[in-house]
Amino acid sequence: MKAVKLKGTSEGLYLITDMSYDKGKVEEDLIEIVKEAEKFLGSSREVFVLLENSAQEDDDMGFLENLLGSLGIKINKSKSESFGDFKVAQEQQKDIYTEGNTLLIRKNIRSGQKIEHIGTIVIIGDVNPGAEIKAGGHVIIIGSLKGNVHAGASGDEQAVIYANKFAPNIIKIAGLIAKAPESEKGIESEAEIARIYKKHIIIENI
């Protein structure tokens, strides 16, 4: 089990740290997850921090602040008072699960919503126009894809995008981008998968 998890929200990245582990384990897992998430940190390199199972919150927060600082990352304290609310909201979201490095979502993603995760994202539902999905790994959609999707955002050219109904506006895999022709926008195809082949994004029927 990891002592540290990173979750993307519309407000930014939340670093969730279980302080029941010894600090050596926390430091090891934190360094590993920061390396995996470099492409998600952005130019500001800021995260919100949520402590779990902390007996000495001030000391633990100071420890994390120093450790993150050594990695060139700042703690965004503007929402420190909302950490408890964020945790409750996460626990109430029974349609969102994390298993290993995979984020599973059982709901439709509406216009204006943005989902980010450093691993693979699996969505059981539709991704509607105006919605954005960004994953460090694969993006698997058991439903219709009509929004924008970026798979392999960490640079993984082996990542794929799959949807039962494939009608995206823009898709990206690693550093490559493909845009639907105007004549095909909004027209749903059958199940298809997008992947990189010879430095181009290709889309194949399943």
pLDDT, averaged across the chain: 83
pLDDT on residue 134: 93
Contacts of 166 (CB under 8 A, 6+ apart): 145, 188, 189, 190, 191, 192, 194, 203
| pLDDT above 90 as % of the chain | 41
Q: Where are the domains of the chain?
A: 4-92, 96-205
Mean pLDDT, residues 118-122? 90
pLDDT on residue 67: 92
- The residue among 82 and 175 whose pLDDT is bigger is 175
Using only the alpha carbons of the chain, give its radius of gyration.
18
| pLDDT bucket at 180, cuts 50 / 70 / 90 | confident
pLDDT at residue 114 tops 80: yes
User: The CATH number of 96-205 is which of 1.10.3720.10, 3.40.1440.60, 2.160.20.70, 1.10.1520.10?
Assistant: 2.160.20.70
The alpha carbon torsion through 190, 191, 192, 193 (nearest 10 deg) reads: 170
Token pair recorded at residue 54: 């902390």
pLDDT on residue 76: 84
- Answer yes or no: are the C-beta atoms of 134 and 114 closer than 8 Å: yes
Mean pLDDT, residues 152-179? 93
Lowest mean pLDDT among 11-15, 92-96, 143-147: 92-96
CATH number of the structural domain 4-92: 3.30.750.50
Report the predicted TM-score, pTM, of the whole model to 2 decimal places: 0.60
pLDDT on residue 80: 44
**Per-residue model confidence as pLDDT tens digits over 73-105:** 988 876 544 444 455 445 445 567 777 788 888
